[in-house]
Amino acid sequence: MQVVPRKIKLAAENNGLSIEWSDGHVSLYPYKFLREKCPCATCTDAHGTGAPRTNVVVDNPLPMFQKALKPDKAELVGRYAVQINWSDGHSTGIYSFDYLREICPCEECREMH
């Protein structure tokens, strides 16, 4: 049986994306974590250009002058993924539900991988 999201929420109070899965597991993905894990061809260098990854979020030594990274918009892509338009202008990443479950940052899931 495939595990699918029951509820997906951009959780401003947690500064992350929250997913309640059909098996009862709940995942919370901090925005910075998700942006760094962007699966698009540019961010993963799938084109083989050797270009630096554009998805690396660099900590600013002066955070008060850094615009907070957050989704401007998130949309479902069919019944298999979510696409996030980020405040840094990046919008080509499509996060499949399988990929999101695979990268769940909770302690329980990290121990399984």
Please write the tens of the pLDDT for every residue from 39-71.
999 898 876 665 545 445 555 565 556 678 899
Spell out, as residue ranges, where the chain has pLDDT lower than 70.
1, 47-66, 113
Q: Label residue 25 exposed, middle or buried (CB < 10 Å: 0-12, 13-18, 19+).
A: middle
Give the pLDDT confidence score for residue 66 in this predicted structure: 63
Query: Domain spanning 5-47+69-112: which CATH class is it, in words?
Result: alpha beta
Return the pLDDT at 61: 60
Confirm if 21 and 2 have CB atoms less than 8 A apart. Answer: no
> Cβ distance 39 to 100 under 8 Å?
no
Backbone angles phi, psi at 95, to 5 degrees: -95, 105
φ and ψ at residue 56, rounded to 5 degrees: -75, 120
pLDDT of residue 110: 85
- For position 106, what pLDDT does the model report? 93
Residues in the chain: 113
Structure tokens at 90: 């990046």
